[in-house]
Amino acid sequence: GTSIVWLRDDLRLADNPALDAAVGHGGDVIVVYVLDEVSPEVRTLGAASTWWLHHSLAAINERLGGSLVLRRGAGDEVLATLADEVDAEAVFWNRRYSSSREVDARLKARLREGGREATSFAANLLVEPWTITTSDGSPYRVFTPFWRASLERDVRMPLPEPDLSAIRGPADVGLGILSEDLDEWRLLPTRPDWAGGLRETWTPGELGAQARLADFLENGLDQYDRRDEPAVPATSRLSPHLRFGEISPYQLWHSVKGRSPKSAGYLREVGWREFNWNLLYHWPDLATKNFRPAFDAFGWSEPDDETLDAWHHGRTGIPLVDAGMRELWHTGYMHNRVRMVAASLLIKNLLVDWRIGEEWFWDTLVDADEANNPGSWQWVAGSGADAAPYFRVFNPELQAAKFDPDADYIRRWVPEYGTPDYPDPIVDLKESRKDALAAYEAVKAAN
Ligand code: FAD
Per annotation, catalytic residue among 52, 147, 272, 283: 272
Prior bond of 145 cis (ω within 30°):
no
Q: Whose CA is nearest to atom 34 of ligand 1?
A: 377
Distance in Å, CA 447 to ligand 1 centroid: 30
277 carries an active-site annotation: no
The pLDDT tens digits of the residues spanning 80-94 come to 999 999 999 999 999
Q: Best mutation site among 124, 269, 379 for ligand 1, i.e. most ligand atoms within 8 A of its Cβ?
A: 269
Q: Using only the alpha carbons of the chain, give its radius of gyration.
A: 23
Distance in Å, CA 336 to ligand 1 centroid: 6
229 carries an active-site annotation: no
Q: Whose CA is nearest to atom 17 of ligand 1?
A: 272
62-65: list long-range contacts, CB under 8 Å, 24+ apart.
Answer: 63/13, 63/205, 63/206, 63/207, 64/13, 64/31, 64/164, 64/167, 64/169, 65/164, 65/167, 65/171
DSSP lists the bridge partners of residue 117 as 90
pLDDT score for 446: 61
Pocket of ligand 1 (CB under 6 A): 227, 235-239, 242-243, 269-270, 272-273, 276, 336, 339-340, 343, 361, 365, 367-369, 372-373, 376-377, 380
Q: Whose CA is nearest to atom 31 of ligand 1?
A: 373
pLDDT score for 119: 98
Given a contact cutoff of 8 angstroms between Cβ atoms, the answer to whether 232 and 406 are in contact is: no
Distance in Å, CA 441 to ligand 1 centroid: 30
**Parts of the chain belonging to CATH 1.10.579.10:** 293-446
**Parts of the chain belonging to CATH 1.25.40.80:** 125-157+207-282
CATH class of 1-123: alpha beta
pLDDT score for 8: 98
pLDDT score for 424: 97
362 carries an active-site annotation: no
Distance in Å, CA 313 to ligand 1 centroid: 21
Q: Which ligand 1 atom sits closest to the C-alpha of 220? A: 3
DSSP lists the bridge partners of residue 72 as 35
pLDDT score for 392: 85
ipTM of the modeled complex: 0.99
Q: Which ligand 1 atom sits closest to the C-alpha of 343? A: 34
pLDDT score for 166: 97
Cβ-based neighbours of 202, under 8 Å, separated by 6 or more: 52, 208, 240, 331, 332, 366
Distance in Å, CA 372 to ligand 1 centroid: 7
Q: Which ligand 1 atom sits closest to the C-alpha of 342? A: 34
- The CATH number that domain 125-157+207-282 falls under is 1.25.40.80
DSSP lists the bridge partners of residue 94 as 121
Which residues in the chain show pLDDT less than 70?
Answer: 445-447
Distance in Å, CA 169 to ligand 1 centroid: 36
Q: Whose CA is nearest to atom 14 of ligand 1?
A: 269
Burial of 155 (0-12, 13-18, 19+ CB in 10 A): middle
pLDDT score for 254: 98
Per annotation, catalytic residue among 269, 306, 431, 441: 269
Considering the domain 293-446, what is its CATH architecture? Orthogonal Bundle (1.10)
Distance in Å, CA 249 to ligand 1 centroid: 14
List C-alpha distances in Å: 439 to 60, 69, 212, 300, 443.
50, 53, 43, 9, 7
